[in-house]
Structure formats: C-alpha cells, structure tokens
Amino acid sequence: MCGIVAYIGTKDAYPVLIKGLSRLEYRGYDSAGIALQNGTLNIYKKKGKVENLIEFTKNKDTSGHVGMGHTRWATHGKPDDTNAHPHTGGTGRLVLIHNGIIENYAVLKSALQKHGHTFSSETDTEVLVHLIEEIQLRENLALEEAVRQALTQVTGAYAIVVMDREDPHKIVAARKSSPLVVGIGKESFLVASDATPIVEHTKNVVYLDDEEVATITLEHGLVIKNLRNETTTHTVHAIELQIEQLEKGGYDYFMLKEIYEQPVTIAECMRGRMNAEEGWVRLGGMEEHMKRLVNAQRMIILGCGTSWHAGMIAEYLFEDLARLPVEVEYASEFRYRNPVVRDQDIVLAISQSGETADTFAALEMAKERGALTYGIVNVVGSSIARLTHSGSYIHVGPEIGVASTKAFTGQVTMLTMMALILGYERGYLPKSRYQELVQELSRIPEKVDRLLKNCQKQVEYIAGELKDAVNSLYLGRGYNFPVALEGALKLKEISYIHAEGYPAAEMKHGPIALIDENMLVFVIATNKSAHDKVVSNIQEVKARKGIVVAVVTEGDTDIKELADFTIEIPETEEPFTPLLSVIPLQLLAYHTAVLRGCNVDQPRNLAKSVTVE
C-alpha cells in the first residue's frame, strides 16, 4: 500500500527520494510523486510507475535538501496524476503525503468548503492538508502545532509527512495505525513507511507510536510530542537489514529469489531454537508465559491472506500434536463480530509485515478482553510485534515479492515448533516421539533444497503446458487442505488464472459440476492417512476429463498412472508435509505467471502490506 519517504539533510534530496520510492515499490502502488523544498515548493507527480515520475522530472528543477516522496495505492479516487500525492493546501503553502484513510473526511470537507476551500482531487488526503492549513493560518501557528491540532479532529488511520514553504528547514511527520519509521543519520534524517528506504543511509531508527507528531530540523534534531502536546522519549533501535537483502541478487524476480531462499530461511527460523541431536525446541517468547500457554483452554489464531493459511495449518498442528482446541479467524471478520474472548485464551496473530490493519485491530480487541497475545511476525519492530504480550520473529529476512512464499514457510516452521513445545509440555507428546519429530523437522531445510533442485524442470514443463488455462481447482485433505488454499491463492494473485482451493472431499458438493476437459485440477496427494481417498477423488476428476496435476510423495506409483502430470516431494512426517508440498505450487504459479507475461513481483491491484481496512 502507499509508501512514504522523506529526507532532510545536507545532500540533494531528489536522488535519495527516488531511490527510496523504488525501494517502496514492492508495497504495491499506482502513482508516485515528490515535493522538494528550495525556497519554493516543486511538486511532481505521475500516474504509473516510479519510472514515469523519473522521466517526467527530467530537465525540471529537482534541487533542494529537504523533500518528500510517495507511492499511492488508490483508496479515495482513481489512480491518476491529480489524485497522486503530494497534495497542497488552498494557498500552496503546505504540502503533504499520507498513507491511510481519513474516515471523517466528508464532514471535514464540507466544513472547509463553507470556509471557502475548494478541492481539486477526490482524495481524503487533500482534505487533511486543507484542514491543517486552515488551522495554521487562522491562529498563525508553527507547522507542528497546526498538524497536532488538526489531527485531534481526525478519525481514521494516517501516517503523514508535511512541509511548509514558509518554514523550509523542517519536516513534520505523524502517525496513527499506519507505520512510520524515522532514520537518524549523520547530518540527515529520513522518515519512511518501513526501513527499506532508510537502510542505505543509516541503521539507527526510531519507531513512532500512534498519535505522535515528530518535528525534524537539522538544528534541533528529532522532537516528538503526542497529541496532548506532551514530549515523549524514544529508544533508538539498530536495524539488522542488509542492502543485499533488498536486491534481486541475479534472479529475474524477487519472488523467485525468495522461493529459492527457503532452505536457508527455514533453517534461519529454527536457528538457536532447536537442537536435533539433543532433541529439544525452545522459544524465548514462549518461555516467559509457559504456565499460561500450557494451561490455555483455547487458541484463537488471527491473520489475513497467506498468513491466515498458515494459521489453518496451525489448527491441524496444535490440535493433532498438543490437543489444544483452535479457532482460526479472518482478522477482518473477528474484529467486527463481538467474539467471545476469555482470559484463559491465547490469541496468536500471524503477520509477515506486522502492519496489516485488520490483524492489528483484531489483536488490540483481544488484548483488551484479557487474552494472552502472541505474535508470529517477520518485520522486526513492526506494530503487531510491539502490541503483543510476547512473540517469536520468523527471521526470514525482507520479503519483497507481493506473493508471500518464504514468509509462509517461516510461519509454518514457527507454528510447528510451537506445537511441538506445547505437545510436549502439555503431556500429549511422549519424549521419544517429541524428539523423533524434532529430528525430522531439522531435516526439512535439506529436503526443501533437494525438492527445489529436483522439481525445477518438471514444474517449468507443466507451466508451459498449462499457462493458457482459464479455471483451476486445488484440492487437498487434512494438513494439505490449507496448502490447496495457498496454492490457489498464489496462482490467482500473480497469473490472474481463476483458482479455487477446496477440501478434496467437498469437491462433490459443488465444484465437480465445473469439471470438464478444460478444468485444471491440482491435487495435493501426499498425506498418508488420506491417500486412498484422494486417489478416489482423482479418479472422479479423470472420469469427467479434468486435467490432473498431482503433488505426490516420492515413489508413489499409483497416482502417477492416473494423473496427467505429477510432481514428487520427499517423504516426511505428515504434520510437516505442508512445508514441502507448498514449494512446487509456489514455483508453478511463478513460472505460469512469467510465461503469461505478468509482473510477478507487483501484481495488479495487490499490496504487500495492507495498512488500511
């Protein structure tokens, strides 16, 4: 979703902002713009990619040591040059960029119109900058004070950066429910939606909290106040991100790089937390709350998109290995349903970005209702990580491709480790079985590595054969039902082929009506316990001339004879199969999308981090 970058320092702001915007591209956007301060305000904005903006600014005045840049993902108003950010107030004195949604913008807009304000865009953002300007001019206030007063009138979510032509050596930034990070460099400061535009300038950052306003000048540095006008203090954190992690490293797309990183990222997720020889798993985040976790009556899992699919796998894991009742919830539904949450419940939030607006709000509600909250998050220091009582980072490194791959396997790895710990601590997994499972889990990175090498050619071949399909079904049972959902999501997200995930046995209750010689049916047929039943499902599909692609366990000859195409995965314990069976489905979606000419890393209309509801 929208990306923000701003700079104040001794260097030229333009190259810093443009580089920053290209780092933010992965979040998903449809227009981009910048504003530069050099005694006057130069604002340039364009529909489409950052490339278009660069082209547009050629031969234009891009001087100035202070500036802001924005990538917009349209919410209010279509993606075009006018609705692109930055936006100015009525007199052109103030300029602002915004991520989030101002929910009461219509009321504010009509009040401002009564005071003579006219608006050129359809955005809620333009209303906010007019409001700030109205307050500033009425009372002749400093920019930060006008921003603070304006924000007390606003409902909704915002991360903003504002500049004032009459106060050219200052930027003001504020946030509520949308992330904002301030980078503290040598004679420079950056403000950004996440650390990716900051890391090449400094590793020292401060995370702004909700309802805080930061005033930044080179003279006085960073001053933060809350909306009650009280000064707040912050710890400076060191970010661990490396620039190489933000580059494609020789791959055509970030998604492909991230798929191939999985043997390493799964191992990174386990590192220091598991010892196969000694046969134990430990998670620092769980240890502090072990008594409450062990005695929990129920676990509620919250997530969206791929993270919700990881949660579905967790339901099988926790019930099977730890006999803990689990409910998996779409965060967006949970938060508006008045759900029953008790203080003996554990509420687990799964989020790659740690910033998904619905997951954050649902978690906040569960915390208020007394549950113990635990985060499974990738981005260190993100809002969800900071909101939870405890948690474990998956440590898979930055995920740039919009379609989640390595974060999914990191989440499932983490959830598997948690299930093993709880299974053992709750007395349902005898020590010998627990140790056997720990040993097998430690072999997964090597099995993923082997699988990637072995399936590559076959997957590319199948993608070539199937790239013109229009409709597809993904079927799985047990642990592989959520994998079917995830496989379907991958294909539809990046190749735009219609894809539905279904529990294999449910096929007879509807989807079977769609099966003919054009229907592609992916069957994840690795489960030992449900193998024969899945074979029957494949026969049912073949009887109706559907095209079957089956993911099977190495050496499975029965299904090979039935299916049109098969992909083999190494054998493992049944609870760990999702970590393997999902890999060829990711790769297949990738190659299909590439063959269809799609922009795999930035699929249309999608955002990496959904910071508005």
Residues acting as catalytic residues: 2, 608
Both tokens of 121, joined, read 């865009």
Return the residue of 94, 347, 459, 610 that touches ligand G6P, per CB under 6 A. 610
| Cβ-proximal residue to ligand G6P, closest one | 305
Q: Which is nearer to ligand G6P, 83 or 383 (CB)?
A: 383
* Rounded distance between C-alpha atoms, residue 66 and residue 353, angstroms: 28
Smallest CA-to-CA distance from 152 within 225, 69, 77, 70 is with 225
Cα 605 to Cα 595: distance, rounded to the nearest angstrom: 20
Give yes or no for a cis peptide into 325 (omega within 30° of 0).
no
SS3 content of the chain, % helix, strand, coil (to 5): 40, 25, 35
Minimum CB–partner distance for residue 320 and ligand G6P (Å): 24
Position 581 contacts ligand G6P (CB under 6 A): no
Candidates 36-44, 129-137, 220-228, 346-354; binding stretch for ligand G6P (CB under 6 A): 346-354
Our finding on whether 608 is near ligand G6P (CB under 6 A) is yes
CB of residue 489 to ligand G6P, shortest distance in Å? 8
Tell me if 222 contacts ligand G6P by CB under 6 A.
no
Give me the DSSP letters along 376-389.
Answer: EESSTT-HHHHHSS
The stretch among 258-266, 352-360, 454-462, 572-580 that binds ligand G6P (CB under 6 A) is: 352-360
Phi/psi of residue 314, nearest 5 degrees: -60, -35
Piece in contact with ligand G6P (CB under 6 A), picked from 348-356, 387-395, 449-457, 560-568: 348-356
Contact code string over 295-324 relative to ligand G6P, x by CB under 6 A: ---------xxxx-----------------
Residue from 71, 178, 188, 404 in contact with ligand G6P (CB under 6 A): 404
Which residue in 352, 452, 361 sits closest to 402, CA to CA? 352
Q: Does 405 bind ligand G6P (CB under 6 A)?
A: no
**Is the separation of the CB atoms in 214 and 208 below 8 Å?**
yes
Nearer to ligand G6P, 189 or 360 (CB): 360
Contact status: 359 vs ligand G6P (CB under 6 A): yes
Residue 352 or 495: the one with the smaller Cβ distance to ligand G6P is: 352
The pair of three-digit structure tokens given for residue 42, joined into one six-digit string = 């130069």
- State which H helix or E strand residue 503 sits in: strand 498-503
- Identify which range of 12-20, 184-192, 217-225, 347-355 contacts ligand G6P by CB under 6 A: 347-355
Size (the chain), residues: 613
Q: Which is nearer to ligand G6P, 324 or 376 (CB)?
A: 376
Asked if 414 is part of the footprint of ligand G6P (rule: CB under 6 A), the reply reads: no
Among residues 124 and 355, whose Cβ is nearest to ligand G6P? 355
Residue 149 lies near ligand G6P (rule: CB under 6 A): no
Complete edge-to-edge strand list for the sheet that includes strand 188-192: 41-47, 31-37, 66-72, 3-9, 188-192, 181-185, 204-207, 237-238
Least distance CB 244 / ligand G6P (angstroms): 22
d(CA 146, CA 227): 11
Residue with smaller CB distance to ligand G6P, 208 or 610: 610
**Residue 37 or 359 having the CB closest to ligand G6P:** 359
Q: Which CB sits closer to ligand G6P, 396 or 417? A: 396
Shortest distance (Å) from residue 395 CB to ligand G6P: 15
Q: Minimal distance in Å, beta carbon 333 to ligand G6P?
A: 14
Give the SS3 label for residue 599: coil
Query: Under a CB-based contact definition with an 8 Å cutoff, are residues 500 and 473 in contact?
Result: yes
Tell me: does residue 98 bind ligand G6P (CB under 6 A): no
402 near ligand G6P (CB under 6 A): yes
153 vs 112: CA distance, rounded Å: 13
State yes or no: residue 380 binds ligand G6P (CB under 6 A): no
Strand partners, 205: 183, 237
- How many other CB atoms are there within 10 angstroms of residue 199's CB atom? 22
Q: Which stretch binds ligand G6P (CB under 6 A): 75-83, 170-178, 349-357, 557-565?
A: 349-357
C-alpha–C-alpha distance, residues 398 and 245, integer Å: 7
One-letter amino acid at 17 equals L
The number of residues that bind ligand G6P (CB under 6 A) is 15
What secondary structure does DSSP assign to 239-287, as a single string?
Answer: P---GGGGS-TT-SSHHHHHHHTHHHHHHHHHTTTEETTTTEE--HHHH
336: which residues sit within 8 A by CB, 6+ positions away? none
- Out of 71, 83, 353, 572, the only residue in the binding site for ligand G6P (CB under 6 A) is 353
Nearest distance in Å: CB 409, ligand G6P: 13
What residues form DSSP beta bridges with 472? 499, 520
Task: Kindly list the residues in this chain that would bind ligand G6P in the complex (CB under 6 A).
Answer: 304-307, 351-353, 356, 359, 402, 404, 606, 608-610
